[in-house]
Homo-oligomer: A and B are copies of this chain.
Amino acid sequence: MANAQPTKLRILDAAEELFAEYGFSETSLRQITKDAEVNLASVNYHFGSKKELIRAVLERYLKILVPDIGQALLELNRRTSSPTLEEVFGVFVRPILALDRQRKNGTRILLQLLGRGYTDSQGHLRWFFITHYGDVLDTFIAMVQKAAPQLNKSELFWRLHFSLGTFVFAMTSSDALMDISRVDFDEEIAIDGVIKRIIPFISAGVGAPAHNC
């Protein structure tokens, strides 16, 4: 009978949804296994521990998304010799939205997961990301640097982290914000609308005149 999906996948699917909604530490293995309709012990059997489950959930997205972004950056580099900030940041849009075709609500889930991952346990996942996807990160930073030459390395560092914060925060609260937008402004805004509004914001922020003091 019954469960179309093998256990391991059912766990991943249930976990990513709960992690995105409630955060990592606020989601219990019992909740995950109940939603996935599998036995409690199967998480530790298949993944070893909760921590490794978290990493597996994130990795399933990142290993598709990050190379995709990396390639899009290279393509942009090939098209125009010196792209603007808005073009560089705009590179994120298509790969991120493409996740919705890979999995239902994939875009929302990944971005909420990223937000959770960054605020819940900063050091651990940060290290994982840099060691696995550092090369893409480097080419991205180099392109931003080139598009905003007035910024020294330190200014750039801070502004890129501000941008990350903007992104991450908007995504962790995207559900609530979209609700408010619908009720207060009678505007039905989906996740791609949010992303397309963030890009000009970030671009202008990073491109602001350099700060001296």
Listed in ascending order, the chain A residues whose CB lies under 8 Å from chain B are 23, 25-26, 115, 118-120, 122-123, 153-155, 157-159, 161-170, 172-173, 176-177, 180-181, 184-185, 187, 194, 196-198, 200-209, 211, 213
- In the complex, the count of this chain's copies comes to 2
B204 pairs with A173, CB closer than 8 A: no
Q: Beyond A165-B166, A166-B165, is A119–B172 a contact (Cβ under 8 Å)?
A: yes
B158 pairs with A165, CB closer than 8 A: no
Beyond the given pairs A119-B169, A196-B211, A200-B211, 18 more chain A to chain B contacts, judged by CB atoms under 8 angstroms and listed by A's residue number, are A115-B119, A119-B172, A154-B181, A154-B185, A157-B185, A158-B181, A158-B194, A161-B177, A162-B166, A162-B169, A162-B198, A165-B167, A166-B169, A168-B169, A197-B211, A201-B206, A204-B205, A204-B207
Q: What's the Cα separation between A129 and B184 when bound, in Å? A: 18
Name the distance in Å between A63's Cβ and chain B's nearest Cβ.
25
Closest to A207 in B: B204
| Chain B hits for A169, CB < 8 A | 118-119, 161-162, 164-166, 168-169
| Chain B hits for A206, CB < 8 A | 201
Name the distance in Å between A169's Cβ and chain B's nearest Cβ.
3
